[in-house]
Structure 1
């Protein structure tokens, strides 16, 4: 008996050794598919499910006082079977410390699961990499105002490089959502209201962060997860987690294109599902959306991840599942591969398979996608960060210079009465005032202007108590306002920093956090402050900083000049000073329509023409500022619009060209915009649609001919039968400086 036991133990040892020896999935010379198919059958059911879950590092991944990896018992238990990924490890420490920590963490994970499967470390990007010590860029909607996709590509290239050097591998960004409701607190995370502009920005962001895809396996960049699929930005009332009511035609023509381009053109590695629903079907349980559209129609072969806890919420929040297990099955059937955070969803899958073994085939499908992603990222072959490169590369001089370049191209000049701007660098006192003023603003202005101008600075009051969950507005008394007025009275000109901040517009988390608003006027005593200072008769320049579109009627009426800055980089105030004092001409264009009143919502430039028939009692018609609007220190003349042919067919193209001249006295950039209007359609059509743009720079007196190609694909829309069609008819084309101003021509589509 003793020898029999020894014999069987020997056989077992030989078997395990042979299995280890023949680990083809570790052979980098094989194809990714071969490696995945070798590894998958080796995994136990529990190990497979572990590859379908992500947890947050805040449950116990940290460094001790000596910078060494420290894991909680909860994390140690989770990592025994391996894991799909971990969100935000090392986010609150320096890039170098994070790189060291994540190397240790990855080593621990590889050495403590049977097959040495590495984990995905996941970040986000709203102002660059959302982690300590990385280059802080402007938010996505800010860079959208640049109307410069190549610039956005370079920004996200830096994001991809800096994230990978921290030890990160995936990014739950960019947002491909269309945002058209300024009540929505997450507005600034996306690229604006327009489908075409958003598509160009999303494609370039993904190509940038992924290193044009080749940077993934090379270990220089990270994978993108485009989100939130689909329609998330259309929540009713602009309220996070609310229902989405959107027509199928609008969904296909307006909402889908940035996601489709993310898949087909940019080759995004991941997609995140939307919190919301479509036509009453919760997105996290929608196989028509996550499999039918995303995979069968578009050919997506990456992984789909849930938004935070949203598979479980199919049961306890959306109430479309009878139990937590039923919710898990809904998500799995729909096509969600990774469960983000939940302990009451995919954790149930092993027990569910015992009752219904057919479920395992769907689990295998998802695990293949996760393992494939890790292979694409090269994690099985090179899972660690090269520490020597971190400090040389992260937040380099070149990256900071790029952040400022982006600021300078994104700041929008909304008003410049009597050429108030630029200010002169001459002996005078300028007051920098207002609740959005930073502590470093004065120093930033002095660094640009030197000692020729005297600056005095005072914030005066704060807007909120800065509570991260539910901030409250702070009262502002006469003494606070009068102090600012007195400073203004003693100055030659005033720069007022108004708008909103990270507390007046933010994500409304599921529990105990608000971020959406029921009104869109500037909060607090900002209008009152402006009115009092305007009464002094001094030039008043308003710098508008904000994360949602604001209805700025008082500011628009009373300010002599307005610079719309949205949310700039860490060098934003230096950039503002350069523009205010004329070193650079502003060239940003509004990525949104600015309404006069919240009562005009929904309100975007490309709404159906029939929406423009009637206005409102006691309110001036039209927007306060239209989409695509932005002034310059140069002046631009558009003339000689030419269309290469009066007709276009389903197999031909036409060219539209226009001469643009800088008739001003300063070198400046202009965004030349192409809009197309379908004059008659079988379904009601948008008033006009952006179909192209080009940013050019002209010296005083210089002219340039700008040309656009119109092809049949640009004229397709969803017809009566819900199929994409080309329809015979007349079109109007406009090329100009905004969605409301330009030169026009006509052509006809013939079949």
Structure 2
């Protein structure tokens, strides 16, 4: 953010309290410049200054929209066909002063000078090609995929035994597609992307992978191809369905995920659920792999399938990483950074909800999510114990150390992401039932135990009170540690702030 030294900031598409963000003087001047002391420049989002006129309707024409945005604090237009001409007109008309233009120009030129763009205005194309996709970057892409894939369910099926499953059906819209690159990605050379099908074939070269292509478009799946997959599933030793959403930008209008693709539900689009159910009806073990950028309601799969993997948008080596996890070369360690609800009606199913959120529980369906924030399985098991606080009381400006032991109780090396949550037990304004305040990745060999210590500082306890003052409140606090936000998995102790 600003404190870290960011020198450019983009305003949002939306409005705030009835004022479009791109013409919001309170945001750009009062908060950004005056309160935060931001020294850099503000840039618009794509055509959003024009949207002050043609979407928000708080300006009568584009020229008036330009005027409102500039006087509110905008420095640079990302893209605008009439921007230069109309801004010059506004200056000549005396509506915008040259000194106001100079302010923005000075901020922009300052950054350009700092970046050395006047000394070296053009990129070195050969150097760029040398840097792009170099070995270090490739290794980072693979490591990121390995560390980001979440094992959601495993009823003893994973990791796969390559000697046991010699014929495997692979099907689904994301089984053999660059869609694993995710939103904001361009089509790449095939040699630079390992799809999930390719990753499986590399990982288990002696296994016959029977691929039934379902195409890339979930909205136009062919029922005949779904039926074909169901038939092939019966003769397979194991089935893998790779489902989810479609995000590639070069097919902008056909996407079901990514920027500007709001959904009215969180179900799998098209015939994907039907495909999963028909393949699973074969009676053979069936694994679901999800490729998507947001939570999907896969309640049927969660109840009926033995294994589910959330791959998210794993990138160029996503197929290799998925295969390595399925076959146990990599022990999954990732945890959910979001709560996954059961259905659209549970959209507010968040871990850091207020105490009254479920005073009246949902009727018919459970008042619990499909998977909780911070949740994620491993091929080993961990035990938490010996939680201790360095003090039972601290001052408002004091610190407190929380220590506990984590033991790998399984037979495989692994990495556990330990999490620390805090709750203000009684407060002058309602506070969440828990908030994540720290976490750490702890590598453990089989049988190994390590002590973990977190430090609770005032910034981890502070909040805005009823008078909107930021600070630490006196009273009793609950500190919790464990593998996820689920109450049943957390150790807890209390301390008092005086």
- The verdict on a shared fold, with TM-score over 0.5 as the criterion, is yes
Q: 1:455 aligns with which of 166, 190, 209?
A: 209
What pairs up with 1:358-437 in 2 under 5 angstroms?
359-417=97-155, 419-426=156-163, 428-437=166-175
CA distance in 1, matches of 2:102, 2:198: 58
Query: Secondary structure of 1:611's partner?
Result: coil
Q: CA deviation at 1:658?
A: 1.3
TM-score normalised to structure 2 length? 0.91
Query: Looking at CA atoms only, which structure, 1 or 2, has the larger radius of gyration?
Result: 1
CA distance in 2, matches of 1:563, 1:715: 35
CA distance in 2, matches of 1:397, 1:665: 33
CA distance in 2, matches of 1:346, 1:607: 47
What pairs up with 1:187-202 in 2 under 5 angstroms?
none
Q: CA deviation at 1:357?
A: 6.7
CA contact (8 A) 2:422 2:480 kept: yes
TM-score normalised to structure 1 length? 0.61
1:263 and 2:17 are equivalent in the alignment: no
CA contact (8 A) 1:594 1:627 kept: yes
1:492 and 2:240 are equivalent in the alignment: no
CA contact (8 A) 1:324 1:345 kept: no
Report the counterpart of residue 303 of structure 1 in structure 2: 41
Output one character per residue of 1:518-573: Cα deviation in whole Å (capped at 9) or x when no partner. Answer: 11111122222222222222111111111221111111111100110011111111
Output one character per residue of 1:653-692: Cα deviation in whole Å (capped at 9) or x when no partner. Answer: 0011110011011111111011111111111111211100
Report the counterpart of residue 135 of structure 1 in structure 2: none
1:609 and 2:355 are equivalent in the alignment: yes
What is the total number of aligned residue pairs between the two structures?
Answer: 471
1:531 and 2:277 are equivalent in the alignment: yes
Q: What 5-or-longer segments of structure 2 have no aligned partner?
A: 178-194, 248-254
Report the aligned-residue RMSD.
Answer: 1.7
Report the counterpart of residue 41 of structure 1 in structure 2: none
What pairs up with 1:52-91 in 2 under 5 angstroms?
none
Report the counterpart of residue 226 of structure 2 in structure 1: 481
Q: CA deviation at 1:705?
A: 1.0
CA contact (8 A) 1:311 1:345 kept: no
CA contact (8 A) 2:8 2:43 kept: yes
Q: CA deviation at 1:349?
A: 2.1
Query: Secondary structure of 1:445's partner?
Result: helix
Q: 2:476 aligns with which of 717, 726, 730?
A: 730
Tell which deviates more after alignment, 402-411 or 285-294: 285-294
CA contact (8 A) 1:312 1:345 kept: no
CA distance in 2, matches of 1:504, 1:523: 8
CA contact (8 A) 2:415 2:441 kept: yes
Report the counterpart of residue 300 of structure 2 in structure 1: 554
Tell which deviates more after alignment, 394-403 or 351-360: 351-360
Query: Secondary structure of 2:143's partner?
Result: helix
1:746 and 2:484 are equivalent in the alignment: no
Q: 1:506 aligns with which of 258, 263, 268?
A: 258
Tell which deviates more after alignment, 645-654 or 388-397: 388-397
Q: What 5-or-longer segments of structure 1 have no aligned partner?
A: 1-261, 465-472, 509-514
What pairs up with 1:29-428 in 2 under 5 angstroms?
262-265=1-4, 267-345=5-83, 347-356=85-94, 359-417=97-155, 419-426=156-163, 428=166
Query: Secondary structure of 1:481's partner?
Result: helix
Q: 1:683 aligns with which of 429, 433, 455?
A: 429
CA contact (8 A) 2:412 2:446 kept: yes
Q: Rate the CA distance shift 1:306–1:347 in 2: closer, same or farther, 3 A.
A: farther
Q: CA deviation at 1:346?
A: 5.6
CA contact (8 A) 2:396 2:473 kept: no
1:444 and 2:196 are equivalent in the alignment: no
Q: CA deviation at 1:424?
A: 1.1
